[in-house]
């Protein structure tokens, strides 16, 4: 039975990746942080199943800020594959909590690389990098060779981590991979990310539980895909014979306004009656035309995303309803 270790297992991607790996016969170990509230809702269906939890799914307490705890788990579990998904992931918030963002995203990755480097049998390692490393890109769409020009602390931290993955891969000959992930969504997306916020609001307004929706820049554009496709890509990237970086993206740009119109239409509402602009939600530095070219992942991994934003939004609104 192959063994995987996932940091960030309680998040959207961690939960879908856990399901995917369990379906492939893996033993899955997850790193969880001690917090005052037990945030395990996305794993509850697995956690509550005695055939799975404690057998093929095991959770361990550790923290990216606590290298001793990480080292202990990596030595004890001796995983074949590590999927590093953890870290503060809200771009807007990274301006408010820059130090802790950089510590978890950048230094957290460095700590894991330093531990892995010392292991007698280093695991294959997937780092969830982000389109935010490109910020103001020189080329549209971006590919694996596009230079990194981040425009916020989160993007800078991810660029640092992605750069270290490349350096440690070359210097130490380790199997380390950056998956450069563009936005990917699902009903399990955190509630403060824009697609989930919009889909939740459209459903709640249609059921009389909310009055209106406040948004920042609705002309902002993103390349949004289905999170389940992206976790499949993570696994495929670690099965490739050589460690290489891969872009995972749909290649299609949409505006936040497109998401608003799609979501309110699924909920049977006229968006113009309910959507308001809130200046406090505007970001000082918006990235520009972040849209990915995933041709390499398609060619080498056979990876292909679904491209239909309408279907994605429908799935999310219906889940809220
Ligand atoms: O949903 P968002 O907050 O996602 P963002 O900033 O693109 O970041 C996500 O995707 C990245 C790339 O994969 C990840 F690296 C990152 O960790 C995260 O998963 O915002 C999307 C767009 C932005 O342009 C934002 O300014 O929506 C705009 N927006 C407009 N109104 C809003 C809002 N974003 C949020 N969160 N809330 C609003 O009310």
Do 155 and 216 fall within a single domain?
no
Query: For residue 210, what is the domain's CATH number?
Result: 3.90.25.10
Using most ligand atoms within 8 A of CB, pick from 13, 92, 102, 225 the residue to mutate for ligand 1. Answer: 92
From the CA of 193, how far away is ligand 1's center (Å)?
6
Q: Which atom of ligand 1 is nearest to the CA of 158?
A: 15
Q: Is residue 311 part of a domain?
A: yes
Q: Can you give the pLDDT at residue 37?
A: 61
Do 169 and 234 fall within a single domain?
yes
Q: Is residue 36 part of a domain?
A: yes
Cα(25)–Cα(18) distance, rounded to whole angstroms?
Answer: 11
From the CA of 149, how far away is ligand 1's center (Å)?
18
Q: Is residue 213 part of a domain?
A: yes
Give the alpha-carbon dihedral of 52, 53, 55, 60, to 10 degrees: 140
- 254-255/221-222 β-pairing: antiparallel
Q: 126: helix, coil or strand?
A: strand
| Predicted confidence pLDDT, tens digits, the chain (321 residues) | 999 999 999 999 999 999 999 999 999 999 998 775 667 889 989 988 889 988 999 999 999 999 999 999 999 999 999 999 999 999 999 999 999 999 999 999 999 999 999 999 999 999 999 999 999 999 999 999 999 999 999 999 999 999 999 999 999 999 999 999 999 999 999 999 999 999 999 999 999 999 999 999 999 999 999 999 999 999 999 999 999 999 999 999 999 999 999 999 999 999 999 999 999 999 888 888 999 999 999 999 999 998 799 999 999 999 999
Give the start-end residues of each E strand in 16-169.
Answer: 27-32, 57-61, 81-84, 124-130
Query: What tokens were used for 100?
Result: 């802790």
Which of these, 288, 255, 253, lies nearest to 146 by C-alpha position? 288
**Considering 130, 131, 186, 206, which one is annotated as catalytic?**
130
Q: Can you give the pLDDT at residue 139?
A: 95
From the CA of 82, how far away is ligand 1's center (Å)?
26
Q: Is residue 297 part of a domain?
A: no
Q: What is the DSSP letter of 258?
A: H
101 CB less than 6 Å from ligand 1?
A: no
Q: Tell which phi-psi region holds residue 259, choosing left (phi > 0), alpha (psi between -120 and 50) or beta.
A: alpha
Give the alpha-carbon dihedral of 93, 94, 97, 99, to 10 degrees: 170
Do 49 and 135 fall within a single domain?
yes
Domains contained in the chain, number: 2
Using most ligand atoms within 8 A of CB, pick from 222, 254, 263, 305 the residue to mutate for ligand 1. Answer: 222
Q: Is residue 260 part of a domain?
A: yes
Q: Which domain, by its residues, includes 284?
A: 194-220+253-291+306-320
What's this model's pTM, rounded to 2 decimal places? 0.97
106 CB less than 6 Å from ligand 1?
A: no
Cα(206)–Cα(183) distance, rounded to whole angstroms?
Answer: 26
Q: Is residue 298 part of a domain?
A: no
Query: For residue 119, what is the domain's CATH number?
Result: 3.40.50.720
């Amino acid at each position: 039975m192959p063994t995987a270790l996932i940091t960030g297992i309680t998040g959207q991607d961690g939960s879908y990746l856990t399901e995917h790996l369990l379906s492939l016969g893996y033993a899955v170990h997850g790193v969880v942080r001690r917090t005052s509230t037990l945030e395990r809702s996305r794993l509850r269906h697995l956690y509550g199943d005695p055939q799975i939890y404690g057998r093929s799914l095991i959770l361990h307490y550790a923290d990216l800020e606590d290298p001793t705890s990480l080292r202990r788990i990596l030595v004890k579990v001796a995983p074949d594959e590590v999927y590093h998904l953890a870290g503060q992931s809200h771009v807007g918030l990274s301006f408010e909590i820059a130090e802790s963002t950089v510590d978890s995203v950048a230094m957290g990755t460095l700590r894991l690389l330093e531990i892995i480097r010392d292991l007698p049998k280093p695991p294959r390692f997937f780092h969830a990098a982000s389109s935010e490393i490109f910020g103001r890109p020189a080329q549209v769409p971006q590919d694996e060779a596009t230079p990194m020009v981040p425009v916020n602390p989160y993007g800078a931290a991810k660029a640092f981590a992605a750069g270290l993955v490349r350096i440690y891969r070359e210097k130490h000959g380790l199997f380390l991979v950056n998956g450069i992930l563009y936005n990917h969504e699902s009903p399990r997306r955190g509630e403060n990310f824009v697609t989930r916020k919009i889909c939740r609001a459209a459903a709640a307004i249609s059921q009389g539980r909310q009055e209106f929706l406040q948004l920042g820049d609705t002309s902002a554009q993103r390349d949004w895909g289905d999170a389940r496709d992206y976790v499949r890509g993570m696994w495929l990237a670690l099965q490739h014979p050589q460690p290489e970086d891969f872009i995972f993206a749909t290649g299609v740009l949409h505006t936040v306004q497109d998401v608003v119109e799609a979501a309110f239409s699924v909920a049977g509402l006229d968006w113009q009656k309910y959507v308001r602009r809130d200046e406090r939600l505007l970001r000082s530095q918006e990235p520009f035309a972040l849209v990915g070219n995933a041709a390499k992942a398609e060619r080498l991994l056979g990876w292909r995303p679904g491209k239909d934003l309408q279907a994605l939004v429908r799935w999310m609104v219906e889940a809220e309803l």
